[in-house]
Structure 1
Amino acid sequence: MTARVLITGGRGKTGRRVAAHLAAHGVDVVLGTRRPSGPQDWRFDWADPGSAAAFDGCEAAYLVAPTDRTDHLTVMEPVLDAAMQRGVRRFVLLSSSLLEAGGPMMGQVHAWLARNAPEWAVLRPSWFMQNFSEGPHTATIRDEGVIYSATGTGRVGFIDADDIAASAAACLVASAPLNADVVLTGPEALSYDDAAALIAAALGRPVRHVSLEPAALTARFVAQGLPAGYAETLTDLDRAIAAGAEEATTDGVERVTGRPSAPFRVFAARAAASWT
């Protein structure tokens, strides 16, 4: 049994859910966050090498890469080296279904862990259902009844963040390390039009999907304050969806946790209050 775990991004979509699952396993958790506010919190910023002190006393860590840059390994490697020097053996990295080991962004960290970490797992989820209820689409659904993307009719195996968290917790406390990556999806591949229809059914009012040209989506991201390079990277992911890159579904959640992943309609019913 893992005794103590650092959760980076500890107040984020998956981090706080991972903490809840680990607490149910009786595991002591430290929440790494840029803005500490509670007794379990420790100030943590990948760009600050001093953040490595948060790993003291921990045997394992859940890794969420910084969201304000794309050169993730450059900033994460020194802190990960320091974590291993402090005795951390097991790392579980949150990556993406579209990012292979050695690819851009978290793909570089994935490859580094496979080469260097004593015990590791890389979770590669598809797009979060919570992006609609806790992320970039929340306000436009609530205020305009609109979801904007550049995905066209491409389909995605949207996954509930709680299923990602349950998978992470299982990897962190398992008696044997996974030492592999696993692609996590929901049980069905849906277009953004499908997602809009399911949200509309949960709300009892119209919600529609507006598919933008990629350049227009990038401009929206930049207007929201994202760096231009990061905005273009996000747009490229929508281009990949439009081309069919996310249509596959897997049984990864069930293989890791022993239970199936949740369907989108269940998520939409549960999240309806976030759009009212």
Structure 2
Amino acid sequence: MTTTRTQRNEILVLGGSGKTGRRVTSLLRHRGHEVRAASRGASGPARFDWHDENTWEPVLDGVGAAYLVDSLREDADVSMAAFAKLAAERGVERLVLLSHRGWVPAEGEEKLPCERAVRESGAEWTLLKPAWFTQNFSEEGYFRRQLLDGELVLPAGDGLEPFVDADDIAEVAVAALTGSGHAGEAYELSGPDLLSMGAVAELIARATGRDVAYRPVSPPEFTAFGEAHGLPGDFVELLNLLFGWIRENRFAELADGVQRALGREPRGFADYVRRTAVTGVWHG
């Protein structure tokens, strides 16, 4: 039996246990929405695996809107295009994609192909393009270990980044999934301040009363540092790329996506540090 539109009241959240997905799920449920938080580890109709297309149709049954995160593989756009098209064909009316701020593509390369896949799906779409998450420095991110050791060792130079709070990303996602006026929008999401890694270390040190310093290193030095601390080589390579963009100030500008989507100012990094410091997360 075909599912009718009136029955399509669930909201699908891919990566429902992830950094943004669990926040989107929690906020939707708090506001009274029915949510299907999907992941590889879930069971029944909430089980979803980008690499197992047999999980795709069941996870879409009864869904009217979906929050999408890609597979993080080189061919992520291929699976995203197929899934987004299937979602539209199955009656999903809204797709909200967690993307990222763009980069300069290689010759002949699509700039952000997963975005194109969602735009061409046939459903209403909204794109979220966040800066670095403030939560990368908490227990949810790799850099907490360095902070506990008292030193941020990163190849970011004196570059600036407008860190955005993952709670703001979730609020924008929920607005786009449940409210009007967001279709066709590409929201660049940032916090209210441009900060260097030195400023990040200083803010955390001030809030915790601990000695925390920032030591800028070159990419080869960071590679050696990562190897010495047991980090996977592909992860270190990715970090060198991302921190290189910060070092170059590639995205060192504030965005107004939070303001446009929510009608308020974004949360600041200093506010995040004060909230997080009281939990003792940087005291081991």
Alpha-carbon distance in structure 1 between the residues aligned to 2:274 and 2:75: 37
Match of 1:26 in 2: 32
Q: 1:73 aligns with which of 52, 77, 85?
A: 77
For each residue in 1:105-130, what CA deviation from the matched residue of structure 2 results, as whole angstroms up to 9, or x when unmatched? 99111012222332001100000000
Matched-pair contact (CA < 8 Å) for 1:119–1:177 = no
Aligned CA distance change for structure 1 residues 19 and 85 (closer, same or farther; 3 Å): same
Alpha-carbon distance in structure 2 between the residues aligned to 1:23 and 1:195: 33
**Does residue 217 of structure 2 align to residue 212 of structure 1?**
yes
Matched-pair contact (CA < 8 Å) for 1:71–1:105 = no
Alpha-carbon distance in structure 2 between the residues aligned to 1:183 and 1:58: 26
For each residue in 1:234-271, what CA deviation from the matched residue of structure 2 results, as whole angstroms up to 9, or x when unmatched? 42221111111121012210110122111111101111
Aligned CA distance change for structure 1 residues 104 and 54 (closer, same or farther; 3 Å): farther
Aligned CA distance change for structure 1 residues 136 and 194 (closer, same or farther; 3 Å): same
Alpha-carbon distance in structure 2 between the residues aligned to 1:196 and 1:186: 17
Aligned CA distance change for structure 1 residues 105 and 141 (closer, same or farther; 3 Å): farther
Greater mean alpha carbon deviation, residues 73-82 or residues 234-243: 73-82
* 1:221 Cα deviation after fit: 5.7
Alpha-carbon distance in structure 2 between the residues aligned to 1:64 and 1:126: 15
- Within a 5 Å distance, the mapping from 1:9-158 to structure 2 comes to 9-36=15-42, 42-52=46-56, 53-67=58-72, 69-99=73-103, 107-133=112-138, 134-142=140-148, 144-158=149-163
* 1:88 Cα deviation after fit: 1.3
Alpha-carbon distance in structure 2 between the residues aligned to 1:217 and 1:54: 41
Matched-pair contact (CA < 8 Å) for 1:187–1:261 = yes
RMSD: 2.6
Unmatched runs of 5 consecutive residues or more in structure 2 = 1-5
Alpha-carbon distance in structure 1 between the residues aligned to 2:63 and 2:105: 26
Matched-pair contact (CA < 8 Å) for 2:163–2:269 = yes
Q: 2:248 aligns with which of 227, 243, 248?
A: 243
Alpha-carbon distance in structure 2 between the residues aligned to 1:35 and 1:106: 31
Structure 2: which amino acid aligns with 1:10?
G
Matched-pair contact (CA < 8 Å) for 1:72–1:105 = no
Match of 1:274 in 2: 281
Task: Tell me how many residue pairs correspond in the alignment.
Answer: 270
Alpha-carbon distance in structure 2 between the residues aligned to 1:29 and 1:105: 33
* 1:197 Cα deviation after fit: 0.5
Task: Give TM-score scaled by structure 1 length.
Answer: 0.88
Aligned CA distance change for structure 1 residues 194 and 89 (closer, same or farther; 3 Å): same
Aligned CA distance change for structure 1 residues 145 and 84 (closer, same or farther; 3 Å): same
Unmatched runs of 5 consecutive residues or more in structure 1 = none
Q: Which has the larger radius of gyration?
A: 2
SS of the equivalent of 2:163 reads coil
Structure 1: which amino acid aligns with 2:34?
D
Aligned CA distance change for structure 1 residues 31 and 261 (closer, same or farther; 3 Å): same
* 1:75 Cα deviation after fit: 3.1
Structure 1: which amino acid aligns with 2:166?
A
Structure 1: which amino acid aligns with 2:231?
Q
SS of the equivalent of 1:7 reads strand
